[in-house]
Amino acid sequence: MTEQLEQRIPVVDATFYPLRAARQRIVVLEGSARSGKTWSIIMHLILCALAERVRIFAGRHDGATCDDSIVADFQDIMELWQLWQPNRWNKTEKKYTFENGSVWKFGGTKEQQKKHGRKQDYLWLNETMEIPESTWTQLAIRTTGQIILDFNPSFSQHWVFSQVLTQPESEVAYIHSTYRDNPFLPDVQVREIEKLEPTPQNRQRGTADEWKWQVYGLGKRGRPEGAIYKLYDLRRFPGPHAVPAVRLRSGLRLFGGPGGAG
């Protein structure tokens, strides 16, 4: 079933196949807004759930935000692939059970009691910038398989940069993408993102914002204009300028060893 589904998957963005090829324990997807990271991750994890019986936890810091974002996208993709069975969705526990016994649970990560008792084969932390390091530590040590982290780099100092991306390439795969890697992004959303670019025209219109463009347009770590202190030195944090890269599409780079590059 997984092979048949994978053959039917359109190239909705350029992050899906690098994610499928990554063999490292941790995969970090850093990029701009609307680059398609979420859909690629959900499709990847659905295929993992269908391939063998596994336990998956997908979370955001806030449970309500999780419901409105990744839970909704999960249901959309399951329906698109004609896999959704309403009787297998437990709305109270935010849990979906596949026919083969795989269980995918969603939730907020800030509930300490649930966090400490959770065990899973796959862990996905959506919008990782929102999640404290203590939460990451507890969830990571209770995960037996792959861990996926994705985010827009809205902070320049974070445990992802100092604790995760400093690990060996054999342990961490890094995928960078922007909205330009999502060919199905509606033109109206492309225009909204590009209004942030600090061009003379956008400056005249009053829509230009250097920091927002760096973070949400280019998916780069930046600092707000007017900040008194420079918060980071790029050399301290592995990233597009510090790690050997394989350019896969415009704006997309896959970092890691032979396993990560497929």
Given this model, what pLDDT does residue 162 score? 96
| Overall average pLDDT of the 160-175 stretch | 96
Task: Using CB atoms within 10 Å of the CB of residue 191, give its burial: 0 to 12 exposed, 13 to 18 middle, 19+ buried.
Answer: exposed
Of 84 and 260, the one with more pLDDT? 84
Of 135 and 6, the one with more pLDDT? 135
CATH architecture of 2-186+233-261: 3-Layer(aba) Sandwich (3.40)
Task: Using CB atoms within 10 Å of the CB of residue 208, give its burial: 0 to 12 exposed, 13 to 18 middle, 19+ buried.
Answer: middle
Given this model, what pLDDT does residue 70 score? 96
Is residue 160 a contact partner of residue 148, using CB atoms and an 8 Å limit? no
Q: Which of 111-115, 210-214, 234-238 holds the top average pLDDT?
A: 210-214
- pLDDT tier at 23 (50, 70, 90 boundaries)? very high
Of 111 and 65, the one with more pLDDT? 65
Distance CA 219, CA 213 (A): 8
What value does the mean pLDDT of the chain take? 84
Cα dihedral: 53, 18, 259, 156 (round 10):
-100
Given this model, what pLDDT does residue 229 score? 36
Judged against a pLDDT cut of 90, whether residue 159 lies above it is answered with: yes
| Overall average pLDDT of the 184-193 stretch | 94
- pLDDT tier at 13 (50, 70, 90 boundaries)? low
Judged against a pLDDT cut of 90, whether residue 137 lies above it is answered with: yes
Of 199 and 221, the one with more pLDDT? 199
In tens, the pLDDT along 46-70 reads 999 999 999 999 999 998 889 899 9
DSSP annotation of 222: -
Segments making up each domain of the chain, as ranges = 2-186+233-261
